[in-house]
Amino acid sequence: MIDTPTLPEAAVWVVLGLAVVTQFLRWRLSWVLFGLAIASALVTSRLTGLGLVSIAPGFALAFLLSPHAPEQLRVSSRPTTGAVVQILIVAWSAALMLHVLPGFNNLLLLDRVQSGPASLPYTLYLNLDKPMIFFAMMIAFPGMLTIERSRYAAGKRGAVLAGLGVGEWALLVALFLLVMGIALLSGFIRPELSLPGWIWIFAFNNLLFTCVAEETLFRGYLQNLFARRAGTAVAVVAAGCLFGVAHSLGGWTYVLLSSIAGVLYGLAYCFSGRLLVAVVVHFLLNLTHLVFFTYPVVAP
């Protein structure tokens, strides 16, 4: 069943989606749109006062980590305090990912729909809590959207993807195919071509809210953090494995698939120097799964 939201409710996520897009364009308008999305969520009761209390600590922690914070408040020059603040903001982000913070009335849009006859019924909410991670991290680490490719790709320059070497392209494609291949061989999915009428809802939510939030946390934040301390290779694998563990509710096969996919997204970020590329690769894999295979898994 597809639940049609009221116009005020739909406006919450349309405005929030525009805020996400304009953030990647580095427009200050993004923060105006973000404020309007929060205000409209309060008016429609999709966000309550308790929800504001839930997100406030994360944004306060993000401000303490921000390069724009006043020197007397900034914790980056105090290693111990900075480490504690970073642990707390990761814990806050994890709570949002798991939807355990109170005060959010996320919007149910798809209720036990099937992409095809062999697919397990699928439910989709438009989540207001998960996107908060993206905006908090943009305050804390605005530089994560664009990193120096030379840090990962030995001084290569050029267009974002045109500058990739044959080997880099081959590795990305191979990992993409490996994820789908293991999923097929394990029986996790099976071929099933489908273009459900709700694919546009899936694309809107998955690209702007799910993929953006997850790539921000796992690649933009954690991978960069690990890279500064242990080097690029360790960072890509470590962030990828943590991404897999975050999907442990789906079982061990899902953990393995998500870990390999996490490495794929991490390499896309490294090779291109753009978080947006990791987001798009993540979305393309999810969309390929939906269109060409049983989604989310084979029905029993």
Q: pLDDT tens-digit profile of 228-270?
A: 889 999 999 999 999 999 999 999 999 999 999 999 999 999 9
> What would the pLDDT profile of 149-169 be if each residue is shown by its tens digit?
644 444 444 445 556 788 899
Output DSSP code: residue 5: P
Burial classification of residue 7, based on how many CB atoms lie within 10 Å of its CB (0-12 exposed, 13-18 middle, 19 or more buried)? exposed
Please tell me the pTM assigned to this model.
0.94
DSSP bridge pairs for 47: 104
From the list 83, 63, 91, the residue with the least C-alpha distance to 229 is 83
Cβ-based neighbours of 289, under 8 Å, separated by 6 or more:
180, 183, 189, 295, 296
Structure tokens at 5: 């939201």
Confidence at residue 110, expressed as pLDDT on a 0 to 100 scale: 95
Question: In the predicted model, is pLDDT for residue 76 greater than 80?
Answer: no
What would the pLDDT profile of 20-34 be if each residue is shown by its tens digit?
999 999 889 999 999
Single-letter code of the amino acid located at 94: A
Which pair of structure tokens corresponds to residue 137? 């991290």
Task: Answer yes or no: are the C-beta atoms of 230 and 238 closer than 8 Å.
Answer: yes
**Distance between CA atoms of residues 12 and 40, nearest Å:** 6
pLDDT digits (tens, 9 = 90+) for 116-143: 999 999 999 999 999 999 999 999 999 9
- The pLDDT value recorded for residue 163 is 64
For the chain, how long is the longest CA-to-CA vector?
60
- Report how far residue 48's alpha carbon sits from residue 40's, in angstroms, rounded to the nearest whole number: 11
In single-letter form, the type of residue at position 123 comes to: T
Percent of the chain topping pLDDT 90? 81
DSSP secondary structure letters along 99-153: T-SSSB-PEEEEEEE-SSTTBPPEEEEE-SSTHHHHHHHHHH-GGGGB--THHHH
Average pLDDT, the chain: 92
pLDDT at residue 157 in the model: 45
CA-based end-to-end distance of the chain: 20
